[in-house]
Structure 1
Amino acid sequence: MSEDDHEIENLQREVATLLLDYVYAPLLEDQHVRGVLPAPSGAPAVRVALGDKNECAPSRLTAYEIPLGAGDELCTSHDVVALLRAVHTGTHIYPSGRVTSVMGMDLYLVDPAHVKEAPFTTDDWSFTLLRCLAGRHTEERPEAGLRGFLFREAGLLRLYMDSDEVPGVIAADVRPGGALTALLAALPSLLGEEWRTSDVVDDPHCRYLVDLTGW
């Protein structure tokens, strides 16, 4: 198997994992993810079925095939979410050669070059961050663990964390965005940086607050 094939497989796994969030929470309006399918014959694409919550009847689901690119031009799992929102909103005209069916579902073959992606929302970034933090809990205690969270005004997310380096529960205000990998890697050490801390008189759920909104 080539390196490109491995990259496509890994990306299909990432897409399936990210889209789990939208089985119960709507991807847009009343539409939920009802299936994530790797394109057949090893094609570098993913197929996603959308429909009402709990819907299973193929005739009431709509599937979209989204190409994942190739080589250095691979899209991300977040790009897939953005394309899904875009193609399932408003009116889009598909040539007859790009409309087919699979397993009883209408299947639309998406051409990303003709679709303006919908933006990845603050809640999307928050879900991704929280999922990564929650996923760190294995048999071994993580260096910094998630104890709770609270959505705040102005697009902020408050994380309640514990750490091997600092006793008690520490709150950290973050602004979810694209640099999540760097934030996740640095979070354990940032919790103990005294110059970032302040007492939180209106929050009894933590010892102190670390402001990471500008990090």
Structure 2
Amino acid sequence: MTLVPEEIAEQQADITRLLLHHIHAPLPGDQYIRGILPPPPSAEAIRVVTGGESAVEAGVLTVWEVPLRASGDSQDLIGGEHVLSILRTLLAGTHVYSSSRIDTVMGMTLIHVDPAQVTPVDPGEFDNAFTILRTLTSPWTEEQPDPRLRGFLLQGPDRMRLYVDHAEDTDVIAVDVRPSGALTALLAALPSLIEEEERAIRGGVDDPHCSRLIDLTDW
């Protein structure tokens, strides 16, 4: 089993946390973040899913795969603010992509972004205000939550897929949940539920972003 390095897994989790509010706050073109996906190993990247405010059908969603290295041989990782700036450029106006950069994943259009070809939009006044407020209310800590959220995908009415890892293991587990369910109980039980092998869906999972899938929509 191939795993991504811990530094990549941690960066994917940090970017997910930074961009979460854009499921409500629009991006250019009235686009919203509908998911953030950890690419299959050994890709050092993040995949951001965008679409209309209530879009969940795969055919109307776009996945942007952004490399996490500032350049191919760089040791520096780009952060959530940089990813957001790239997205704003990509979503503003019309862009033409070569066929070699366009693919599909889970029925969604996948575009492999070349950051060298994108001029990021500088953060605005309200971006910086949000950074100040977020830092004061949710300060960074060296201690990572367990399970750690590496991504998510809004899949339809009352259904969301979480991508998590657990217990110092960067292997990604997908968990389907109902947002209208017993959230307090579910979140408290999640660390133990994802360890129960019998809950994993058998027969293969049509999702390259995880090694196994657990369905907790009826929990």
- Give the TM-score of the pair, scaled to structure 2: 0.57
Structural mapping, 1:121-200, within 5 Å: 121-135=124-138
Are residue 100 (structure 1) and residue 103 (structure 2) matched?
A: yes
RMSD over equivalenced CA pairs, Å: 1.6
Q: Which has the higher contact order (CA 8 A, sep 6+)?
A: 2
Q: Of residues 118, 121, 125 in structure 2, which corresponds to 1:118?
A: 121
Aligned partners of 2:133 and 2:28: how far apart in 1? 20
Aligned residues of 1:83 and 1:116 also touching (Cα < 8 A): yes
The runs of at least 4 consecutive aligned structure 1 residues that moved more than 4 Å come to none
1:71 offset after TM fit, Å?
Answer: 4.9
Deviations 1:72-120 (A, max 9, x none): 3321211100111111222222111110011111111000011111112
Are residue 78 (structure 1) and residue 61 (structure 2) matched?
A: no
Aligned equivalent of 2:150? none
Percent identity between matched residues is 39
Amino acid of the structure 2 residue aligned with 1:81: L
SS of 2:28's equivalent?
A: coil
Aligned equivalent of 2:64? 64
Aligned equivalent of 2:13? 13
Are residue 30 (structure 1) and residue 30 (structure 2) matched?
A: yes
Aligned equivalent of 2:173? none
Total equivalences in the alignment: 133
Aligned residues of 1:18 and 1:128 also touching (Cα < 8 A): no
Unaligned runs of 5+ in 2: 140-219
Aligned residues of 2:29 and 2:92 also touching (Cα < 8 A): no
SS of 1:129's equivalent?
A: helix
Are residue 49 (structure 1) and residue 52 (structure 2) matched?
A: no
Aligned residues of 1:12 and 1:46 also touching (Cα < 8 A): yes
Aligned partners of 1:19 and 1:54: how far apart in 2? 17
Aligned residues of 2:27 and 2:91 also touching (Cα < 8 A): no
Aligned partners of 1:125 and 1:10: how far apart in 2? 23
Deviations 1:128-148 (A, max 9, x none): 221221225xxxxxxxxxxxx
Aligned partners of 1:54 and 1:130: how far apart in 2? 27
Unaligned runs of 5+ in 1: 137-215
Aligned partners of 2:103 and 2:47: how far apart in 1? 13
Aligned partners of 1:36 and 1:86: how far apart in 2? 18
User: Which is higher, the Rg of structure 1 or of structure 2?
Assistant: 1
1:126 offset after TM fit, Å?
Answer: 1.6
